[in-house]
Amino acid sequence: MRAMRHALILTVLLTACPSPEPPPEPPPAPPPEVKAAPVNPDFPHRVVIDGQERAARWDDGDTFAIAPDNPEEKPARARLAGFNTLESYGPVHRWGDWTAAELFKLSKEAGERAASQPWRCTDTGEGGGYGRMLVDCPELRQTLLSEGLAHVFAIDTPPDANDVAVQQGAIQGRKGIWAKGAPEGLITSLHSLDEKPDQTATYNRVADLTTGMAQEVAHAETYAPCQEVCVQGSCMVYVPYAQRYGDDRAACLQPEKKEAP
């Protein structure tokens, strides 16, 4: 009987005394300090790739060049994964009530936004086409999508569902390039049949703004420089790559000459 009483008292004492709380979780470790890249006037921007800050030069909102360690070498070029911005070599996009000049201005804004801070990125180890590396910059991607300065772009595998949702939010909120509405599909590149000898078919790439998938739309047409092509509600001016830059730019990319008074 005495043993039972002692056991009952012990049980009451154990119940009355709460268990000690576990120690608080340690605060998350700060990100590793990034060593600043050397100053290079030809590469005035900064990008952190795999923890290393690199001097860079943004071409537009989704491509940039990286300063080489050896000045005798050519700069590496990078294409960003998961999204696309409008072409910035000239006023070539148009849809709805937008003029080509208005969308051209927004394409420049995407490049300025990308160059505004040193985004943290990772090298995917995959090719980005045309000899470029493919780089993933999640924060930049989400920023440009949310501000309506870019659209989701996926080719082989479906894009991240969150990216598509962010894009839909920008479209519904009429942000950036969606301020005057969105087309069914957005042309991202045009290809003329005569670009390669002896080919009997080629394609234009069009991004589905509902799914984010950029699909090939086959055709067998030959385009003239500065010809406007419209597909699924959006239009784009065809300019061969050799006529996009420098003094030999196509006529539709040349600045308008003002007549003398």
Please count the structural domains in the chain: 1
Read off the pLDDT of each residue in 15-35 and give the average, rounded to a whole number.
Answer: 63
CB burial readout 124-159, b (16+ within 10 A) else e: eeeebeeebbbbbbbebbbbbbbbbbbbbbbeeeeb
Which residue, among 227, 172, 233, has the nearest Cα to 208 in the 3D structure? 233
CA separation for the pair 148, 155 (Å, rounded): 20
Within a domain: residue 116? yes
Within a domain: residue 14? no
CATH of the domain at 98: 2.40.50.90
Residue 254 per-residue DSSP state: S
Domain of residue 107, residue span:
45-253
Q: Is the pLDDT of residue 29 over 80?
A: no
pLDDT tens figures, 101-129? 999 999 999 999 999 999 999 999 988 77
Within a domain: residue 217? yes
Within a domain: residue 222? yes
253: left (phi over 0), alpha (psi -120 to 50) or beta: alpha
Query: How big is the CA angle at 206 (ends 183 and 110), to the nearest 5 degrees?
Result: 70
Within a domain: residue 136? yes
Pairwise pLDDT comparison (126 vs 240), residue with the higher score: 240
Q: Is the pLDDT of residue 18 over 60?
A: no
What tokens does 194 get?
């005569």
- Residue 22 has a pLDDT of 66
Within a domain: residue 90? yes
